[in-house]
Structures are given as C-alpha cells and as structure tokens.
Structure 1
C-alpha cells in the first residue's frame, strides 16, 4: 500500500497543470539541496582536524557535545519556518477499504524521509568516519551516530506537533537567546552544563536507547493524533473560528489612509507568509552579533554599514519588494473602486517606516561594541527611510506575479521575478559603495554623514517622488491586474 500511495502522488505531480513551474522550481531547489549536502559533508569531514587545531587539549567529541543543545534549538527554530508539513489528499481513500492506520503510517514515513532529516547526517557521518580512522571505538561511534539520527527524528516529529504555534516559536527563540547570552557574558555556562549529557551518548553506548525511545514515543503520539483526525465527516464539519474583537479602530485617526493601513495589518497578522516576514525581521536583529563579535570584522567598516542597512531595512526588503503583490488576491477589486492610489501607497510606506524605526531602536544595544556601531546604524536607518523606501516602491510597480498568502515563505518562489533580484542592487549595494568611497577618502564621520544627508534629501523630496511613483503605478495598473489573475504565474 505504501508503494501505491507513492505512485499516486508521483502521478499527481506529473499530471498537474502546473508541471512546468513545479518541475522548474524543484530542479532549482534540488541543485541548492545537493550543494548544501556536499558542503555539509565536506565540513563534517574537516571538522575533526579543525577542532584538533583550535582545541589541541580537548576531545573533538566533547567540543561537539557542548554545542548540541544549541543545535537542537536552532534546528527546531529553522524547521518551524522551513519544513513543510507532509500533505496528502486523503479524502478519496476514506470511502475505500484502506485502513486509517496505513494512511497515518505513510504520512509519518514520508515525513521521516524529508531532506531536513538528512542535513545533520551528511555532517555527522563524515565526522564519524574520520573518528574511526583515528582509532576511536567502532561500537561507540556507530551507536553515537544512531543516537543522533534518533534525536533528528524526534525533532522532526516534535515539529509536526508544534509547527505554526507562535508561542512555541517564541519560547524556542527566547531559550536560544537566553542561553547564548548567559554563555557569552559568563553568567552561566550552558555548554558546560549540557555537554556531559550529550557526551554520554558516545561514552556509554547503552545510552542510545534513550533517544531511540524518545523518537518512538514522538512517532506514536503523532500516529495517534493523525489517526484520530482521519474521518470523512471531519472534512464536512464547519470549521469553528473564534472571533477576534480587535477592529484596529485606532487606524481611523489616519483618515483615508487608515482603511488601507487596517487592511495591511490584518493581512500581515492573519496569513502565514506575511506573519513569517515579521518574525524573520525580528530574528535578524541578532544578525549583527555575527560581525560585531568577530575580531576579523572589527576594522571592516563597510561590512558594518552593510549590517546596518540590512538590519534596519530587513522588513523593507522582505515586505516592500512584493508591493503590491501582497494584495494580488483582491487587487482588481480595489482598483475598480474610487480609491486614491497615493493613499494606498502611503499606507505601505507608513508600515515600512515604522518597521525601520523599530528595527533601529532594537539595534541600539549594539552601542556596547562602540559608538561607531550606533552612528552607522543611525545613518543607515535614515538612508533607508529617505532613499530606499521610494526606490523599492518604484520597483514594486513592475510586480505582476500573484502571491498566495497562506504559503510558507521558504522554498516558495511565488511572486518572485527578475525585479526582486534587481531591486537589491540599489537597496543594498549602492549605499555600501557610497559609504566605502567617503570612508576611505575621508573618515567614518563623513561617510555616516553622507548617508544621513542623502536620507534627509529623500525626505525633502518625498512629495515629488511619491507623485512620480503614483503615476507609474497608474500606468502599470492594468498590467498588474492581468498578471495577478494568473494563479499559475
């Protein structure tokens, strides 16, 4: 029966009317997956020698065990965004003599075969092979690999239970940030605390039974949950939704623009793809730690300018580059009404402006690494507000591809076109070039001042620029409406 299910889904893919698009996307994603797997395998093979060089007095297994807890939390967080839940159209099988248990086992089996479960193995197995060549005990190493595979499967099935639960995501991110903070500032060593726990999986082979038992338990819980949900009348029953009494009445203070602002806020909070953009933007506040904590980047001011543009403008890039495709489902209806195009665009600008200001305020703690960091982030925020907002709005007038809001943002190419790649040049590359020229010719203060002045000039020309952009949207209106109606675009 498993073979039959696989055959039916294979035929469903190749008989789809969207075969060309789906196949093209899968080929591109396949190349990325192969590249990632090869990179992980090479990294895993070289990790032993790297750890030996950095920590000559410590066992590489012990060093790896120290970071296991962070790996688990990061994998749970990444799977929340990236891993798609196993989907199967089970309704036709519910009227046939196919056991519900068979369907549940097949869905969970497909989930176990996910590429996300291979990523860790492609890193750990080469690492384990190098350990064997360096005379580590064969039984200990092999059972250690089995234990890690069991932990990976446990994470996989835990993700199926908690996926899309915002509270769980907040808890995971909070634990990750708290643990890293305690370690970094020397308050309490999370690494040292959990290292003996995970090292025991290697030191005591019998300990492999614990992660294996956990994986089986997670499988059974998922199996029981799925089996209880596989009923025909479950599909026929009307879905009960709790009413939300928040009507965002405060947006009415903004007059005509308030209606659009209210729609945008509701759209962002009620749909997977837009809500994910908010979470991703907040997570990228910590992107600066990658650079500010490394000595190699301490003298690379242009790189810090890139970080400043990126952190304060992450929502501008992720959300702004798809304006007005976010409204593609009802864009034709909106354009048939007596709606001022300028007010519509200004509502988008208001959201992006708030995001840039909020992201700058969240990056203020980087002053811990020096006043230069605060000054650069401030100049970059002004540049984003005055220059990058009009630029990204202008490029948005070329968007003609539809976006389905209930889809995950990862591995999803809906709405993407050459425009999304081209807009990154003026938004990210140009300010870095400007900053670098004035920094190397003069100094940091002049470079930050130039970015700030350009942002202020953009503010001064706001009405003129928005007038030009509004006319551009009016010219492109009918082309965008036609493009958004094509669901396979």
Structure 2
C-alpha cells in the first residue's frame, strides 16, 4: 500500500500544471542543496583533523559533544521557521477500503525522509567513520551515531507538535539565548554539562536506548493527533474561527498611508509565509556572531560588511524582494479602489524602514565586539534604509508571480523568478565592493562614511525616486493584474 501512495504522489507531481515551471529556479535550489551537502560532508571528513590541529591537547569528539546541546536547540528553531511539513491529499482516499492508520503512518514516515533529517547525517556519518579510523571504540561511536540519528528524528516529530505554536517557539529561543548567556557570563558551565551527557553515551552506548523511548513517545503523540483528524467530515469541513483584531490605532499617526500599513501588519501576522519572514528577520540579528567571532573574517572586510547589512536588513531583504506579490491574492481588488499608488508603495517603505530601525536598536549589544564593528552595522543600517528600501520597491515592479501566503516559507519557490537573483547584485555586492575599495585604497572608516552617505542621499532624494518608482508601477499595473490573476 505504501508503494501505491508513493506512486500516486509521483504521478501527481509530474502531471501537475506547475511541473516544468521555474525550472531555472529549481536547478539553482538544487545547486544550493548540493553545496550544503558537500559542505557538511567536508566538515564531517576533515572536522576531526581541523579540531586536532587547532586544539592538540583536546579530544575532538568531546569538543563536538560540548556544543551539541546548542546545536539541537538551534535546529529546532530553524525547523520551526523553515521546515515544510509533509502533506497528502486524503479526500479521494477516505471512501476507499484503506485503513486510516495506514494513511497516518505514511504521512509520518514521509516526514522522516525530509532534507532536514538527511542533511545532518552528511556530517555525523563521515565524522563517525573518521573516529573509528582514528582508534575510537567502535561500539561507542556507533552508539553515539545512533543517538544522533534518534535526536534528528525526534526533533522532526517534535516540530510536528509545536508547529504554529508561537509560545513554543518563544520558549525554545528563550532557553537557547538563556543558556548562551549563562555560559558567556560563567554562571554555569553549560558546555561542560552538555558534553558530559554525550560523552556518557559514547562511554556507555546502552544509554542510546533512552533516545528510542523518546522517539517512540513523540511518534505516538503525533500518530494519536493525526489519527483523530483522518475523517471525511474533518477533511471537507471548513473550520470557522472568530476573527481577532489587534489594536493598530497607533498607526494612524502615519496619515494617509495608515490604512495600508495596518493591512500589511495584518497580512504579515495572519499568514504562514509572511510570518516566517518576520520571525526570521530577528534570527538574522545573530548572523554577525558567525563573522565577528571568527578571526578568519577579520582580514576580509567585505564579508564583515556583508554580515552588517544582514543584521539590520533581514526583514527588508526577505520581505521587500516580493513586493507587491504579497498582495497578489487581492491585487485586482486593490487596483479597483480610488487611491494614489504612491500611498500603497510608501506603506511598504515605512514598514521596511521601521523594521530596519528596530533591528538596528536590537543590534546595540554588538558594541561588545568594538566600536568599529558597531559603526559598520550603523553604516549598513543607513544604507539599508536609504538605498536598499527604495531599490527593493523599484525591483518589485518587475515581480509578476503570484504567492500563496498559506504555504510554508521553506522549500517554496512560489513567487520566485530571475528578478530575485538579479537584485542581489546591487543590494549586497555593490556595498561590499564599495566598502572593500575604500578600505583597501582610501581608509577603513571612510568606507563606513561612503555607505552612510549613499543611504543619506537616498533619504534626501526619496520623493524624487518614489515618483519614478510610482510611474514604473503604473506602467506595469495591468501586466501585474493579469499575472497575479493566474493560478500559481
């Protein structure tokens, strides 16, 4: 029966009207997937020797074990925001003599093959092979590897249970940040404690059986939850929820653009994909930790500027590149209303600038890494506000692909076109190149000033550029109406 389900899904995929569309985008995503696979594989193969070289007096396995607790929590957060849960259209099957339990087991089993579950194994398996090659206990390494596999699968099924629960996400983020702070300020040795747990599994592989109990428990909870939903009335009945509206009266101070800002805020918070973009923007705040804590990047100023731009521009870059496709579902209705297009565009600009400003304020703790780093982040924020926000609005006039807001943000190429890949050049490569030139030939701090000046000029001539952008949108208005009216 399982083989028949797989066959049906494959036929549904290749016979879909969307099959063959955006082939270039799919190929590009495939290259990205291959890149990550090769990266994890390389770290798995050479990680042991790199750690041994950098820390000759330490055990590489113990170093890895010490940080696994943080990695597991970070993986849960990433899964919550990015993992697209597997679905199956069960309506045509419910009247057939197929056990409902079989349907549920298939959906749950399908999730086990998710790319999120496979990617980590490209590190753990090669790393384990290297450990055995270097003389580690075969039983201990296999027990450790088996535990990693169980943890990956447990995280997968836990994500099923907590998905769409913002309280659960907030709790995990709080725990992770709290543990990092506790370790940073030496309140408690979290790294040592986490290391002891996984060191014990290596020393006594029998402890890996605890992972089986946890995995079985999470699988059962998921099975019980889904099994209660596999009924025809559940499949065809639309749930009616009482609409809840937050008080957005504070937005009235923005004047004529206030109604559009309110609609944008409601759209972001009520839909999966936009909410994912919003929440992900706060994770980009930690992007700098990858670069500013690594001495390798200290000699690569362009990469440091790349991080600075992302820290405050996470929302603008991810939300702005799909303007106005976020409104594609009701674009026809919007364009039939009596309002100036400029107000619609300014609401998007205000939203991007406001979020950039908020993220900049939240980036103040980066002063810990020095004034130069914070000046770099400040210059990046001004550039994002003055240049990137306007350029993203202009680039949006070329967006002609509809977006389904209810679909997950990860693995979803809907709305993606060559436009998204072209605009990355002026948005990221231009400021990086400009900063590198000034840093190399003129002066480090003058690079900050150059980017900030461009941002300030964008603000000074904002009205002029907005008029040009408005004309471009009006020119493309009916083409976009036609494009957004088509099913994605």
Q: After TM superposition, give the deviation of residue 25 of structure 1 in Å.
A: 5.8
Give the aligned partner of residue 442 of structure 1: 442
Aligned length: 488
Q: After TM superposition, give the deviation of residue 341 of structure 1 in Å.
A: 0.5
Is it true that 1:389 corresponds to 2:389 in the alignment? yes
Which SS does the other structure have where 1:21 is aligned? coil
Decide which moves more: 405-414 or 230-239: 230-239
CA–CA distance in structure 2, aligned partners of residues 35 and 456 of structure 1: 37
Decide which moves more: 55-64 or 405-414: 55-64
Give the aligned partner of residue 222 of structure 1: 222
Measured against aligned partners, the alpha-carbon deviations of 1:327-373 in whole angstroms (never above 9, x if no partner) come to 11111211122121111111111101101111111112211222222
Give the aligned partner of residue 204 of structure 2: 204
Q: Is 2:22–2:417's contact at 8 Å kept on the other side of the alignment?
A: no
Is it true that 1:342 corresponds to 2:336 in the alignment? no
Decide which moves more: 218-227 or 21-30: 21-30
Give the aligned partner of residue 39 of structure 2: 39
Is it true that 1:104 corresponds to 2:94 in the alignment? no
Query: Using a 3 Å threshold, how does the CA distance of structure 1 residues 52 and 84 change in structure 2: closer, same or farther?
Result: same
Q: After TM superposition, give the deviation of residue 401 of structure 1 in Å.
A: 1.1
Query: Using a 3 Å threshold, how does the CA distance of structure 1 residues 377 and 208 change in structure 2: closer, same or farther?
Result: closer
CA–CA distance in structure 2, aligned partners of residues 442 and 134 of structure 1: 50
Decide which moves more: 116-125 or 429-438: 429-438
Decide which moves more: 338-347 or 230-239: 230-239
Q: Is 1:269–1:275's contact at 8 Å kept on the other side of the alignment?
A: yes
Q: After TM superposition, give the deviation of residue 400 of structure 1 in Å.
A: 0.9
Query: Using a 3 Å threshold, how does the CA distance of structure 1 residues 483 and 282 change in structure 2: closer, same or farther?
Result: same
Q: Is 1:151–1:212's contact at 8 Å kept on the other side of the alignment?
A: no
Decide which moves more: 135-144 or 205-214: 135-144
Measured against aligned partners, the alpha-carbon deviations of 1:47-91 in whole angstroms (never above 9, x if no partner) come to 222222223233332222111111211211121122221211112
Which SS does the other structure have where 2:94 is aligned? helix
Q: Is 2:82–2:276's contact at 8 Å kept on the other side of the alignment?
A: no
TM normalised by structure 2 equals: 0.94
Measured against aligned partners, the alpha-carbon deviations of 1:106-141 in whole angstroms (never above 9, x if no partner) come to 111111222322222221111222222223222222
Give the aligned partner of residue 16 of structure 1: 16
CA–CA distance in structure 1, aligned partners of residues 32 and 440 of structure 2: 37
CA–CA distance in structure 1, aligned partners of residues 310 and 266 of structure 2: 26
Q: Is 1:366–1:373's contact at 8 Å kept on the other side of the alignment?
A: yes
Is it true that 1:91 corresponds to 2:91 in the alignment? yes
CA–CA distance in structure 2, aligned partners of residues 12 and 22 of structure 1: 18
Which SS does the other structure have where 1:229 is aligned? coil
**Pairs within 5 Å for 1:330-479:** 330-479=330-479
Give the aligned partner of residue 192 of structure 1: 192
Query: Using a 3 Å threshold, how does the CA distance of structure 1 residues 58 and 302 change in structure 2: closer, same or farther?
Result: closer
CA–CA distance in structure 2, aligned partners of residues 316 and 421 of structure 1: 15
Decide which moves more: 259-268 or 50-59: 50-59
Give the aligned partner of residue 307 of structure 1: 307
Q: After TM superposition, give the deviation of residue 45 of structure 1 in Å.
A: 1.9
Query: Using a 3 Å threshold, how does the CA distance of structure 1 residues 138 and 447 change in structure 2: closer, same or farther?
Result: closer
Query: Using a 3 Å threshold, how does the CA distance of structure 1 residues 58 and 456 change in structure 2: closer, same or farther?
Result: closer
Query: Using a 3 Å threshold, how does the CA distance of structure 1 residues 351 and 235 change in structure 2: closer, same or farther?
Result: same
Query: Using a 3 Å threshold, how does the CA distance of structure 1 residues 122 and 449 change in structure 2: closer, same or farther?
Result: closer
Give the aligned partner of residue 6 of structure 2: 6
Decide which moves more: 448-457 or 398-407: 448-457
Gaps of 5+ in 2: none
CA–CA distance in structure 2, aligned partners of residues 256 and 152 of structure 1: 50
Decide which moves more: 209-218 or 51-60: 51-60
CA–CA distance in structure 2, aligned partners of residues 51 and 102 of structure 1: 46
CA–CA distance in structure 2, aligned partners of residues 23 and 304 of structure 1: 33
Q: After TM superposition, give the deviation of residue 300 of structure 1 in Å.
A: 4.2
Query: Using a 3 Å threshold, how does the CA distance of structure 1 residues 57 and 433 change in structure 2: closer, same or farther?
Result: closer
CA–CA distance in structure 2, aligned partners of residues 234 and 216 of structure 1: 26
CA–CA distance in structure 2, aligned partners of residues 305 and 185 of structure 1: 28
CA–CA distance in structure 2, aligned partners of residues 454 and 295 of structure 1: 29
CA–CA distance in structure 1, aligned partners of residues 387 and 125 of structure 2: 49
CA–CA distance in structure 1, aligned partners of residues 59 and 242 of structure 2: 54
Q: Is 1:310–1:428's contact at 8 Å kept on the other side of the alignment?
A: no
Q: After TM superposition, give the deviation of residue 31 of structure 1 in Å.
A: 4.3
CA–CA distance in structure 2, aligned partners of residues 7 and 297 of structure 1: 48
Gaps of 5+ in 1: none
CA–CA distance in structure 2, aligned partners of residues 482 and 320 of structure 1: 21
Q: After TM superposition, give the deviation of residue 429 of structure 1 in Å.
A: 1.9
Which SS does the other structure have where 1:220 is aligned? helix
Query: Using a 3 Å threshold, how does the CA distance of structure 1 residues 38 and 386 change in structure 2: closer, same or farther?
Result: closer
Measured against aligned partners, the alpha-carbon deviations of 1:432-475 in whole angstroms (never above 9, x if no partner) come to 23333333333233332232222222222121111111111111
RMSD over aligned Cα atoms: 2.0
Q: After TM superposition, give the deviation of residue 326 of structure 1 in Å.
A: 0.9
Give the aligned partner of residue 242 of structure 2: 242
TM normalised by structure 1 equals: 0.94
CA–CA distance in structure 2, aligned partners of residues 371 and 278 of structure 1: 28
Query: Using a 3 Å threshold, how does the CA distance of structure 1 residues 163 and 346 change in structure 2: closer, same or farther?
Result: same
Give the aligned partner of residue 274 of structure 1: 274
